[in-house]
Amino acid sequence: MPEMSAFPDVPVIQYEGPQSDNPLAFRWYNPDEIVEGKTMKDHLRFSIVYWHTFRGTGADPFGPGTADRPWDDGSESVENAQNRARVAFELFEKLQAPYYAFHDRDVAPEGATLAGSHQNFDAVADVLVEEQQRTGVKLLWGTANMFSNPRFMHGAATSCNADVFAYAAAQVKKAMEVTQRLGGENYVFWGGREGYQNLYNTDMKRELDHLAAFFHMAVDYAKEIGFTGQFLIEPKPKEPTKHQYDSDAAACLNFLRAYDLMDHFKLNLETNHATLAGHTMMHEIDYSGAQGALGSIDANTGDMLLGWDTDQFATDYYLTTQTMYYILKHGGLGSGGVNFDAKVRRESFEPIDLFHSHIGSMDAFAKGLKVAAAIRADQGIGGVIKQRYQSWDSGIGAEIESGSIGFAQLEAYMLEKGEVEANSSGRQELLENLVNRYLDRV
């Protein structure tokens, strides 16, 4: 632990089991417990985000920040940033989180020039290196913030201004270098302003070509410097733009395929982004997983009644069970993790709230993992799926799947048969009951 503690009253959070009433203990997250042959720690690969947890102030469009962060002097000095980094690692350690993630501008202040920003970033990275070594906490991913500064008002790689493209390239180049220096296991692209507010003023085709060129440059530069981390694109349909080009998993994969980038990218799926796109998180995971593109998740949740990106901590066992079920189905997260892109509410302004929020969501995902594994062992869902599709296992279904017949043979088959064989029930309610049964039992 650091010499000066920012959280003197908080111990290293320990597993105490589901009966514990201790708000500073895990009830479900038991890092070394084995589920489907792997420790919980290795399945979940929890990661804490720097931006919400250490740069979030609680400001909203109607009022300023409320957060009480006694260790932060509120200045944009490098010293304050370095001190904040030390505090961040105390929190990571106390939560037993093996990973963290950042944007370049979260960890270090922007300078008066690009060179100054690079310098600030390096000076804070020196402390991050020290703290990673001291604690063993690792970098899940780095990224560049190319949406806050006013220069990115029209986008970054998709800006109508070529200078902005160049600036963004320089920023990503540096962020990749620092991510590599810190042993980052992935590098994320979230195109916050890579989209448009109005098509009247937008050359969409040209912007998409530029975005692809930007990604190809990133791939080339990774090769040049020997960065082997996984590139991830994070889909989101809107906010801040009206339409974001990386709107959902399907749009991202279509883009990557159209521009010959599929071999170099996977997806970082975020729950609240999925729901903004009109999808469930399990849909986005299953869609990406089916195409070998499941990379990582940004774990959070929206509010059922609010239509924007509220980035709340997920505590709903149904959501975490569904999420973990589809992650297990697709063989796990690989180099990705369960990254808490989530923020405490504006009213939860005390430092201790940072612990309650993470503990609760870590527990919810740990329980979701256990329930998901129990459902998988039961074969109930698998059994219903197998039965529903059995007409494809032999006969005409197998012939269609093998690609050996076409419309003419299918017409002849159906003319002879006259009518389809009786359909069978979809059993949706049976399966919903089965999920509840395991939520009760685990």
Note whether 286 binds Co ion by CB under 5 A.
no
By beta-carbon proximity to Co ion, the closer residue of 185 and 270 is 270
Distance, CA of 58 to chain centre: 21
Q: Rounded distance, CA 366 to CA 34, Å?
A: 11
Tell me, by CB under 5 A, how many residues bind Co ion.
3
Q: For residue 318, what are its two tokens?
A: 């149904």
Which span (105-113, 115-123, 339-347, 364-372) binds Co ion, by CB under 5 A?
Answer: 339-347
By beta-carbon proximity to ligand XUL, the closer residue of 102 and 325 is 102
The entry of Co ion, ligand XUL, none near residue 152 (CB within 5 to 8 angstroms by kind) is: none
Angle between helices 351-378 and 428-441 (to 10 degrees): 120
The entry of Co ion, ligand XUL, none near residue 143 (CB within 5 to 8 angstroms by kind) is: ligand XUL
Residues in touch with ligand XUL (CB under 6 A): 51, 103, 143, 188, 190, 234, 236, 270, 298, 309, 341
By beta-carbon proximity to Co ion, the closer residue of 120 and 186 is 186
By beta-carbon proximity to ligand XUL, the closer residue of 327 and 372 is 327
Which span (142-150, 207-215, 341-349, 423-431) binds Co ion, by CB under 5 A?
Answer: 341-349
Residue nearest to ligand XUL (CB): 190
- Write down the catalytic residue from 43, 52, 104, 106: 106
Q: Rounded distance, CA 397 to CA 405, Å?
A: 10
Contact 270/341 with Cβ under 8 angstroms? yes
Least distance between ligand XUL and beta carbon 86 (Å) = 23
By beta-carbon proximity to ligand XUL, the closer residue of 29 and 190 is 190
Q: Rounded distance, CA 371 to CA 441, Å?
A: 8
Contact 219/231 with Cβ under 8 angstroms? yes
Least distance between Co ion and beta carbon 188 (Å) = 8
Least distance between ligand XUL and beta carbon 277 (Å) = 12
The entry of ligand XUL, Co ion, none near residue 131 (CB within 5 to 8 angstroms by kind) is: none
The single residue among 185, 246, 270, 309 that binds Co ion, judged by CB under 5 A, is 270
Ramachandran assignment for 379, one of left (phi > 0), alpha (psi -120 to 50 degrees), beta (any other): left
Q: Rounded distance, CA 228 to CA 197, Å?
A: 35
By beta-carbon proximity to ligand XUL, the closer residue of 137 and 233 is 233
Q: Rounded distance, CA 288 to CA 267, Å?
A: 7
Residue 294 backbone phi and psi in degrees, to 5? -75, 115
Least distance between ligand XUL and beta carbon 270 (Å) = 5
The entry of ligand XUL, Co ion, none near residue 215 (CB within 5 to 8 angstroms by kind) is: none
| 131 CB-contact burial (10 Å; exposed 0-12 / middle 13-18 / buried 19+) | buried
The entry of ligand XUL, Co ion, none near residue 218 (CB within 5 to 8 angstroms by kind) is: none
Listed residue (128, 13, 87, 48) closest to 344, CA to CA: 48
The entry of Co ion, ligand XUL, none near residue 236 (CB within 5 to 8 angstroms by kind) is: ligand XUL
Distance, CA of 20 to chain centre: 30
Least distance between Co ion and beta carbon 297 (Å) = 9
Q: Rounded distance, CA 283 to CA 253, Å?
A: 14
Ramachandran assignment for 68, one of left (phi > 0), alpha (psi -120 to 50 degrees), beta (any other): beta
Which span (16-24, 79-87, 297-305, 401-409) binds Co ion, by CB under 5 A?
Answer: 297-305
By beta-carbon proximity to ligand XUL, the closer residue of 286 and 311 is 311
At 140, the amino acid letter reads L
DSSP code at position 199: G
For this structure, is 103 an active site residue? yes
The single residue among 301, 341, 363, 369 that binds Co ion, judged by CB under 5 A, is 341
Cα distances from 254 to residues 248, 288, 290, in angstroms, run 10, 11, 14
The single residue among 298, 323, 326, 337 that binds Co ion, judged by CB under 5 A, is 298
Angle between helices 162-181 and 114-135 (to 10 degrees): 20
Least distance between ligand XUL and beta carbon 149 (Å) = 14
Listed residue (117, 113, 135, 115) closest to 182, CA to CA: 135
Q: Using CB under 5 A, list all residues that contact Co ion.
A: 270, 298, 341
> Which residues are known catalytic residues?
103, 106
